[in-house]
């Protein structure tokens, strides 16, 4: 499509450019995607071996993969899904800490939640 430019010349309109994905969102999307794929593969192996909790792992891994794909594509539904995932990761880390175990999510999850709560990150998911 073109618009009238100076002196009647036609100037092509620029197509709407999708918002740039922030680097941190790219990292979170990769972590979610890779973690989801690996988790699904391990869950399928565990299911075939007859481990009962593997079904729960399969569901959680699928949610991680969904977040990874949604964050990569900056889908609006991916932002709240990421907040829920990292909140649950923090809760799990706190429960493990109360039982005397350290977990990297004790540090990583709050950082991810802080990052996701930043205005420019939330705006990127709104398009």
Ranges of beta strands (E only) in 6-46 are 10-12
pLDDT digits (tens, 9 = 90+) for 60-74: 999 999 999 999 999
Q: Which pLDDT belongs to residue 16? A: 65
Q: Which pLDDT belongs to residue 18? A: 64
> Which H/E stretch holds residue 55?
helix 54-72
Domain assignment present for 117: yes
Domain assignment present for 1: no
Domain assignment present for 101: yes
Domain assignment present for 6: no
Q: Which pLDDT belongs to residue 123? A: 95
Backbone angles phi, psi at 101, to 5 degrees: -110, 140
Domain assignment present for 15: no
Domain assignment present for 121: yes
> Which position has the token pair 């709560």?
117
Could you tell me the CA-to-CA distances from 27 to 69, 83, 113, 123 in Å, in that order? 12, 15, 14, 17
Total number of domains constituting the chain: 1
Beta-carbon count within 10 A of 124 CB: 19
Low-confidence stretches of the chain (pLDDT beneath 70): 1-19
Residues of the domain holding 105: 21-126
Q: Which pLDDT belongs to residue 20? A: 87
Q: Which pLDDT belongs to residue 21? A: 94
Domain assignment present for 74: yes
């Amino acid at each position: 499509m073109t618009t009238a430019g100076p002196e009647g010349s036609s100037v092509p309109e620029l197509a709407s450019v999708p918002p740039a994905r922030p680097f941190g969102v790219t990292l979170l999307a990769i972590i979610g995607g890779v973690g989801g794929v690996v988790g699904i593969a391990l869950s399928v192996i565990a299911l075939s071996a007859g481990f009962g909790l593997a079904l729960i792992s399969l569901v959680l891994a699928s949610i991680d993969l969904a977040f990874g794909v949604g964050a990569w594509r900056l889908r609006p539904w991916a932002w709240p899904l990421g907040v829920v995932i990292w909140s649950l990761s923090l809760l799990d880390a706190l429960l493990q800490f109360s039982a005397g175990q350290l977990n990297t999510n004790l540090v990583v999850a709050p950082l991810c939640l802080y990052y996701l709560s930043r205005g420019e990150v939330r705006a990127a998911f709104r398009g």
